[in-house]
Structure 1
Amino acid sequence: MASPQRIVAILCFVLAMVLSLLSDQAQAAVMSIDYGAEWFKVGLIKPGIPLDVALNKDSKRKTQAIVTIRDDERLYGSDAVALSGRFPHLTYSNLKSIIGKPYEDKHCIEYRNRFSNNMSPHPDRNAVFFKHNEKMELSVEELIAYQFQNARQQAKNTAGEDVKDVVITVTPFATQYERQAILDAAELAGLNVLSLIHDETAVALQYAMNRDFTTTPEYHIFYDMGAGSTVASLVSFSIVEQKEGKTTRKVPQLEVKAVGFDRTLGGHEFDIRLQNMLADKFNEKNPSLDIRQSGNAMTRLLGEANRVKQILSANTETMASLESLYEDVDFKVKVTRGELEHLCADLLERVPGPIITALKANNMKPDDIKSLVLVGGSVRIPAVQKNLGAVVGTQNIAKNVNGDEAAVLGAAFRGASLSKQFRLTKQIVIKDITVFPIEVIYHPEDEHLGRQPIHTTLFNEFGSIGTRKIMTFKRQSDFEFDVKYGKPVDEEDVETELDQIAKVKVTGLTEALEKYKDEINSAEQPPKVRVSIELSNSGLISVPEASLSFQAKDNGSSFSDKVKSFFGSKEEETQSNEETAKETVQADQNNTESEKKTEKKTTTEEEKEEKTNKPKEPSLKKIPLNIEFIGAGPVAMSTEEKTEARQRIRILDTLDEKRRLREESRNNLESFVYRIQDFLYDDTVGIVSTEKQQEHLREQLSETSDWLYDDGETADTKEYTDRLKKLQTFEKPITFRRQEYLERDGNIKRIESSVQLARVFVDNIRSNTPEEERYHTDEELDAVLDLANQIDSWKIEKVTAQEKRDHHLDPVFTGVDVNKQCRELDEALMKLMKKKKPKTKKKVPKNESTEEQEKQEPVTDENDKKESDDEPIIEKQPEQEQDSNEEHRKHDEL
């Protein structure tokens, strides 16, 4: 029998599992964020809610990626854009271009030239931050976290519940620092990132969701020109066989083959060119002014440039117009599509570049692809489409994908496949790649080999992500190595600090060699250090483990110890092999293959030893080592920084909630004033209230309306709610009397209907049912009849009193009183109607067969069969009784 402690432990475990399941069900929704330089979209998928885009507070399907912080108030999207012209130094946009970048990076330099924010170098992280005011310094991660919070609120409003699980899109060329910064921003926003996904891979996933493919691969290029960059991903679609246990099934596969990109070619660059042209034209018309001296004017001019660019995508010319642009001077000038194309001629020449790069990397020609799928807002520019058509042919340009929403929908679908809350009917295998080769640099330990560093390419360019590789080192002491990108990540053939990923220190080796030196010295092979390096599905490099391995001699233990040791080591090896089969790829093929053969040989010999009980051969011993992963380049946020940022976010969240409650209470008061002012014009109000009561309420409403637009502008929540309650004390009595007045005739008819129904029912039973067939007693029928008469008398008394009472006074009886009377009578009547007829047995002549049948099954009649389902007996009634039942049914429906 189990001990009480064990029973309690089991119950606690079961309870924890139940609570976990309930928690999982409560958090069933998954969201996605397609975060761009200019816009972001939010996708949502939830059981019962189809995959779709969540709307923002303006009921729009995309939101400007911008945030304004003014007086501790955060404004997003269109609200932030509206204030950006007045407060450009407090408005932060295009943050994606500088995330994970050092202060002296060219993108940060361009940002400082184009925007008015006070950017400064971070003293410890080799990154940038903004001095918002004297008491607030904001990192790029924190500002993006604010926008992620806004995205999370959009998903919450759509789903009807809080949503934490998310998949976020990133560019394929995003570095380790950019990806880590996005993860840090999501963490600050309280989100759980299931995975990062490349923009074009998400688009390709959405493309594959509703299409069928064959075993023969078909190739498509997804050309994505957004606001900040341009990417061309070459993707193959096919049907492959996937093993699930002992069975094999065919599933669609999406495989990214190659990627070409231009990091700075995007719609924002077109806007900047057009902004500068408009600034020059303004200065030409106003020689005494220099508009570039005003950050506010240049911000407004950038917004106008974006608007003009969009119009010129559909028209050949338009007018740029801004009132009081600078020094109260209005600005208006005509801009043509030809001017814009001439202005951006060098940008347009770069349009085919990513396509050519992707095709060349896979040794393909434009004729080998089935279609070029356009994605992103900037592909709408006619000159862009013209240049693309010149490369792949106009007939191969596909516009059958929603370029604005394909990425966010594909990312949400990816989230559903990663979440345990969904079981998708269509599984799609995704094979994505890294666009940069990744190499390991280390110095050899043996002096005679020289001190020149050794470069080993661990992950090739366009190699698969979501893999793990193992490097083998022959070392006699603690050591370190560097991990870096194998080619410049910023499109320039110059090595920068952004190319460095991390420095990895492996410690504990010297101590382990000393501790096990006797076993190592007696080993046939020198010890080896194995280091696992992983490239995750999110494109992040990590070093999860390192170990010292050597062949250990048998220590002369007993046979039983050997058996236990054998089964234990065999279990560990099985787990290791399973892990290797799923997610590891050996880097040093010669060393790792020999180790596999050694391990396999050792296991085989151990199995023979168990059978023959002979001494063991040397076994492989594995000693874990310590790893320190030190990020290079822009360093990720420290724990202390995240804690400080979370505290600031909590304070701002509290202020936002207070502000929301204040706005809500103000809106409630304002809408109440307008509604009741209209309400007083209702003719019925003049019947149920006196002129004095109406005039007093009008005065209160007028006084509150004046206060709202005067002192009420700065009032707090309590003042709004107090005034609303005060007005309601004057309004509620009138509204109550009006409602009772309008419903009184209906309430009287309800009582009359209930009384009539009860009387008809009793009369039908007594008049049309023979006494010997009745199963209702006279006492029961009299009781219902007495109750009906009593309620009828109550009705007559109240109606008579009400007719003598003025309508502007409280009514003699109310709808609540009528409900109580009707309910009491209806319940008594239903009790009689549901009373079951006593069971009776049919008398039939008995013979041998019937006697035998009675022994085998009970005698039942038609009524018994109906009663077996606990349904009331329905007998054929006279026409009058049927009519009364129909009346009762209608009464119930009412």
Structure 2
Amino acid sequence: MMHYSCIFLCLTTIINTFFITFSDASLAAMSIDFGSQWIKMALVKPGVPMEIVLNEEARRKTPNLIIIKDNERLFGDAALTYSVKHSNNSFTHLVDLLGKKIDNPIVSLYKQRFPHLKFILDDTRGVMQFDVDGEIYSVESIVAMILRRCREVVEKFAKQPVRDVVITVPAFFNQAERRALVAAAEIAELNLLQLLNDHIAAGLNYGAFRRKEITESAQTLLIYDVGATKVTASVLEYVLVEEKKRGEKNPVMTTLGIGYNRVVGGFEITQRLRDIFVSNFCKTKKTKTDITRNSLSMAKMLKEAEHVKIVCFTDNFTMLVTRTMLEDAIRDLEVKLVQPIVDALKMAGLSPEKINQVVLMGGGSRVPLIQEFVQKFFKKKELGKFLNTDDAIAMGAVYQAAHLSKGFKVKKFDVRDLQIFPVQVDFISAHSKDEAGAGRIIHRPIYPIKSFIPASKKVLSFTSFTEDFSVNVNYGEMKQLNADQLMEFGSLNISEIKISGVTDVYVRETAKEGTVFKGIKAHFDLDNSGILHVDGAEMLLERPPKAESTLASLAGKITGLFSSDSKIDEISKGKSEESLKSEEISDKNHSTIDIAENQTKTEKPVGDNVTSTSGRSAEANKTTTNAAETKREEKPQQIKISLKLMESKMDVLPILDSEIIAAKNRIVEFERKEREKAIREEAHHNLESLAIDLSDKLTQDEFMRFLTADEHTVLQKEVSQVKAWLEDDVDSNTPTTEFVQNKKTIDELLRPVKARMIEDQERPSVVTELISMFNHTEMFLLLAQNLSEAEVFTKVEINTLSKLLDETKDWLAEKMELQNKLKPTDPPAFAVSEGKEKLMSLDREVKYLLNKMKFAKPKVKKEEKTKEAAAENNETLSETMEESRTISEEKPNETSRDGQPIEDATYVEKNEELRNGEQKDGTIHDASEL
């Protein structure tokens, strides 16, 4: 059994990033929980723990809704606001339409739920499309717009580009549905890392916060998820497994069983509540036309039903529609709601008692009656509500995104998911095929039910086909599905594979002498998104080894005569190499080297004996026999020749490359128009705000005192004209340049007025700062004058600062005297910038002197220095004389050759210095100094 590794980050896990060759865009990754009614997004990037992305309204979940009208788009909450008004252009629950043909029961149900939309049949693919104001949109292209919008929201939240994404899907998605979502991600220009089953994402999120609780004893968990249009039950097993290679123990999560219902969910409850509203309305209000045919009225009813559903199931709130009334309307859904649990347990082979824990998921699980149904099935087992129903899947998926992206190293958490729909290859045996092409059908399972994905690549061999042939890839027998589920599933045929070139290659190659046909092999792969791929096909041939020529054969026989020598040389060489290897690895073990050398040496006499003259003939015959026995038989040549392979989808044809390019271009065009519209709206808003603001300021005395009479007249006239233009002439076709130009004109008129206002506002603070600087500088000068004896500052420095201070004070007094005589509209006596420059000059001079004082050392007079040195020498001389007396008393006097005593050298030297009255440095001292 093959399994794939999935990784999670727990709360205490530190994300380690590698900033070598990767940009921030390649390191960041996101996940999208692409639900039918709601979207949740999560992000992981360097330096930031995994977190849920907030949308523009700072909400953790976003409505899966888009409005397309008049070449404009609205997404999420903005679209929800206008969904009633533009119901004919509102698209939601699109995930239910992916990869389904027009005759699918789920498509029919969608048309019944949203009758106001215009549906168009794609004759080529057999799928449903939408007619939006005469433009045709495929389901994949609209889903791509929503995915692209999700990327924009994440990038705005992350403040960096993000492309890598993991998207969650229901486990019951078939091949066509998965391929359709992959195509949508391609149109959205996302780097899809994986389509992750949503129960796996929820299970990862559960295990992430309970890693320490997982032990060697297996624990089973049932996740019951009630979404908007589906109900799923998944049985998961958690166990701690030791790796053989590393010896580490890591948790492993295994899916044991899955059950589902693709129709029942929270939206079904909303629909039934809407029907109650409509029924009561028809009884109380008599209208000329049927309300069900009015799209606006039905949209209002649906929106109100969603709101009332939340209120009724959140509070015990009694109104015209009570909780009891709504519960009675959905009580018949009990069997459909519980059946997924029964199916999941049956697939897992477990009874309800074997489940250790039951966890509720999805917004629909908040409905008390649904909880009552589940509790009734499990009897006394407590229902767990600790998983965040809104965030769990998105957070679990972003764990996987962190693992699959290039820039994160995370703790290991192995996951094994189930293949719940078996895949097999069907073909007609070549031996049993008749003239009409009929014959015995052979079924070869390649990915059986309950196999784990992603699985290893499969290779099928076909040994009976020597001509071009075809095989079909189909779903196997699915006894686990009921009749309704089979209808909703769609086509059981996946694709037809035609392998061509077989005849030509077979005839050409088998005509060669000795060539044997060994069959044809086809390669299949099921990737980590659960999508099947056919990697190629090849023909296998076998040929005998090339025959040796006469000369080559003769040379071989001659060489055999001397094989004994060569054999011994090989033995000797081999042992020498063995000895060399021992030397390389045995620096710490010299005995190994000695043993190797001894072994090599002992082989030499044996070689001499073998090649000696006395036994040459006998040994040569023996060696020749051994060479013949030990000569390896040459194997036949294995030849592989690639064959042409063409795959045709039989379930739902994929969207064409040309359609993908067209959809991308359409999105680019939408985004260009939206950018232009945003710029135009901003310019319109700025001009309108300016006009309204000026209209108010032109009546205020505080603003008017900075205007001259002429300026007031011109501004008043311009503002009035702009306001009239905005009210009367501006429409949706007004170009952005006109808004910009009008604002530029007003800004030019305001420029001198704003300059005066700024000068008037900033001047008092600059004057205050200057006066404060004057006080500080005067205090510093007083301090500097008191330090004159220390000679820290020169007279030039002090005089320079004093002069600068006096000049600045005189300048300010003169300018302020002039300024006080001016009007607000007159040119100022001095600019604020000039005052700041004066302040900086004075501050710079003071800081220079302060810095000098900080590192300066006070100077000491020469006389004081001389007295200190003399005192130190006198103290040293006294100590020396005392030591000399002590030595002379202890030691006998030594005599010279003439019999005279020899005095201690140190004592003599000191006495000489004392008699001469001088130091070593030659300084003459007075008696008083001693």
Q: TM-score, normalised by structure 1?
A: 0.78
Residue from 334, 342, 352 that aligns with 1:356: 342
1:469 matched residue in structure 2: 458
Question: Which residue of 457, 460, 464 corresponds with 2:448?
Answer: 460
Aligned to 2:333: 347
> Once the two structures are superposed, what CA deviation does each residue of 1:352-409 show, in whole Å capped at 9, x if it has no partner?
1111111111111112122221111111222111101011236421111110121112
2:916 aligns with none
- Deviation per residue, 1:460-500 (Å, 9 max, x gap): 22321111222222132333211122246784456985222
**In structure 2, distance between residues paired with 1:44 and 1:96:** 22
User: Which stretch of the first structure deviates more once superposed, 275-284 or 356-365?
Assistant: 275-284
Change (3 A) 1:73 1:767: same
Pairing of 1:651-800 with structure 2 (within 5 A)? 651-673=669-691, 684-685=702-703, 688-689=706-707, 704=722, 707-714=725-732, 715-754=734-773, 757=776, 761=780, 764-765=783-784, 767-768=786-787, 770=789, 774=792, 779=796, 782-800=799-817
Q: Determine helix, strand or coil for the equivalent of 2:337.
A: coil
- Residue 829 of structure 2 aligns with an amino acid whose one-letter code is V
1:383-436 CA-to-partner distances (Å, cap 9, x unmatched) read 111101011236421111110121112112221111112223x33222222221
- Check the 8 A contact 1:755/1:789 in 2, yes or no: no
Report the equivalent of 1:445.
430
* 1:435 and 2:420 aligned: yes
The DSSP-based 3-state class of the residue aligned with 1:252 is strand
Q: CA deviation at 1:28?
A: 2.9
Alpha-carbon shift at residue 123 of structure 1 (Å): 2.0
Partner of 1:217: 218
Letter of the 1:377 partner, please give it: G
In 2, Cα distance between equivalents of 1:646 and 1:239:
46
Higher relative contact order (CA 8 A, sep 6+): 2
Deviations 1:624-673 (A, max 9, x none): 33332322222111111111112211211111111111222233334445
Partner in structure 2 of residue 122 of structure 1 = 122
Aligned to 2:140: 141
Report the CA distance shift for 1:268/1:689 in structure 2 as closer, same or farther (over 3 A).
Answer: same
Give the CA deviation at 1:143.
Answer: 0.9
- Residue in 2 aligned with 1:483? 473
Question: What is the CA distance between 1:688 and its match in structure 2?
Answer: 4.3
Counterpart residue number, 1:304: 304
Tell me how many residue pairs correspond in the alignment. Answer: 758
- Which residue of structure 2 lines up, in the alignment, with residue 504 of structure 1? 497
Q: Is the 8 A contact 1:227 1:378 kept in 2?
A: yes
Could you tell me which residue of structure 2 aligns to residue 883 of structure 1? Answer: none
Q: Tell me the distance in 2 between the aligned counterparts of 1:378 and 1:619.
A: 64
Shift of residue 309, structure 1, vs aligned partner: 1.9
Distance 1:614 1:459, change over 3 A: closer
In structure 1, the residue matched to 2:926 is none
Contact 1:88 1:299 in 2 (8 A): yes
Q: How much has 1:197 moved relative to structure 2?
A: 0.8
Shift of 1:22: 5.9
1:813 alignment counterpart? 830
Instruction: For residue 763 of structure 1, report the CA deviation from its aligned partner.
Output: 5.6
Change (3 A) 1:697 1:124: same
Contact preservation (8 Å) 1:103, 1:120: no
User: 621, 625, 628: which is aligned to 2:646?
Assistant: 628
Specify every segment of 5 or more residues in structure 1 that has no aligned partner in the other structure, as ranges: 1-18, 320-333, 560-607, 848-894
Contact 2:25 2:162 in 1 (8 A): no
- Measured after TM superposition, the shift of residue 619 of structure 1 is 4.8
**2-structure distance, mates of 1:90, 1:53:** 29
1:745 is displaced (CA, Å) by: 2.4
Please say if residues 766 and 832 of structure 2, whose CA atoms lie closer than 8 Å, have aligned partners that are also in contact: yes
Task: Specify whether residues 250 and 385 from structure 1 end up closer, same or farther in structure 2 by C-alpha distance, changes over 3 A only.
Answer: same
CA distance in 2, matches of 1:387, 1:296: 35
Alignment partners' CA distance in 1, 2:252 and 2:520: 37
The 3-state SS of whatever aligns with 1:344 is helix
Q: For residues 838 and 519 of structure 1, what CA distance do their matches in structure 2 show?
A: 104
CA positional deviation for 1:70: 1.1
Report the residue type matching 1:648 in the other structure: R
How big is the shift at 1:507? Answer: 3.3
User: 1:570-589 to 2 correspondence within 5 Å?
Assistant: none
- 1:517 aligns to what? 510
**Contact 1:370–1:396 (8 Å) recurs in 2:** no
Structure 2: how far apart are the matches of 1:259 and 1:528?
39
Q: Take 2:333 and 2:321, find their aligned partners in 1: how far apart are those partners?
A: 19
Deviates more, 1:529-538 or 1:474-483: 474-483
8 Å CA contact 1:519, 1:553 repeated in 2:
no
Q: Displacement of 1:336 after TM fit?
A: 2.7
> 2:174, 2:489 within 8 Å by CA — same for their partners in 1?
no
Question: Residues 145 and 610 (structure 1 numbering): CA distance in 2 closer, same or farther, change over 3 Å?
Answer: farther
How far apart, CA to CA, are the structure 2 residues paired with 1:139 and 1:443?
37
Tell me if 1:336 matches 2:322.
yes
CA distance in 1, matches of 2:395, 2:431: 54
1:677–1:701 contact (8 Å) kept in structure 2: yes
User: 1:645 is matched by which residue type in structure 2?
Assistant: A
Q: Say whether residues 1:406 and 2:392 are aligned partners.
A: yes
- Shift, 1:699, TM fit: 6.8
Q: How does 1:158-173 map to 2 (within 5 A)?
A: 158-173=157-172
Q: Is 1:397 matched up with 2:389?
A: no
- 2: CA distance, partners of 1:118 / 1:220: 44
Q: 1:839 to 1:433 in 2, by over 3 A?
A: farther
- Post-superposition Cα deviations, 1:602-622, rounded to whole Å, max 9, x if no partner, equal xxxxxx999977563235443
1:600 matched residue in structure 2: none
Instruction: List runs of 5+ in structure 2 lacking aligned partners.
Output: 1-17, 553-625, 860-864, 877-930
Query: Amino acid of the residue matched to residue 816 of structure 1?
Result: S
Question: What secondary structure, in the 3-state scheme, does the structure 2 residue paired with 1:254 have?
Answer: strand
Q: Give the whole-Å Cα distance in 2 for the aligned partners of 1:283 and 1:547.
A: 69
Kindly provide the amino acid, as one letter, of the partner of residue 446 in structure 2. L
2:524 aligned with 1:533, yes or no?
yes
Are 2:25 and 2:163, in contact at CA under 8 Å, matched by a contact in 1? no
Give the drift of 1:822: 3.2
In structure 2, the CA distance between the partners of 1:416 and 1:448, relative to structure 1 (3 Å rule), is closer
Residue of structure 2 aligned with 1:543, choices 531, 534, 545: 534
Please report the RMSD computed on the Cα atoms of aligned residues, expressed in angstroms.
3.5
Equivalent-residue separation in structure 1 for 2:92 and 2:310 (angstroms): 19
Q: Which residue of 2 aligns with 1:385?
A: 371
User: What is the CA-CA distance between 1:754 and the residue it aligns to?
Assistant: 4.3
Shift in CA distance, 428/668, structure 1 to aligned 2, threshold 3 Å: farther
User: TM-score with structure 2 length normalisation?
Assistant: 0.75
Give SS of 2:111's match.
helix
Q: Hey, what does 1:241 align to over in structure 2?
A: 242
Secondary structure at the aligned position of 1:630 is classed as strand
> Following TM superposition, by how much is the alpha carbon of 1:142 offset from its aligned partner in structure 2, in angstroms?
0.7
**Is 1:295 the equivalent of 2:322?**
no
Return the letter of the residue paired with 1:460.
Answer: P
- Show the counterpart of 1:564: none
User: Offset at 1:285?
Assistant: 2.6
Contact 1:67 1:76 (8 Å CA) reproduced? yes
DSSP-derived class of the 1:190 partner: coil
Change (3 A) 1:71 1:767: same
Q: Does the Cα contact within 8 Å between 2:459 and 2:521 map onto a contact in 1?
A: yes
Which residue in the other structure is 2:660 paired with? 642
Residues 182/448 of structure 1: CA separation in 2 closer, same or farther (3 Å cut): closer
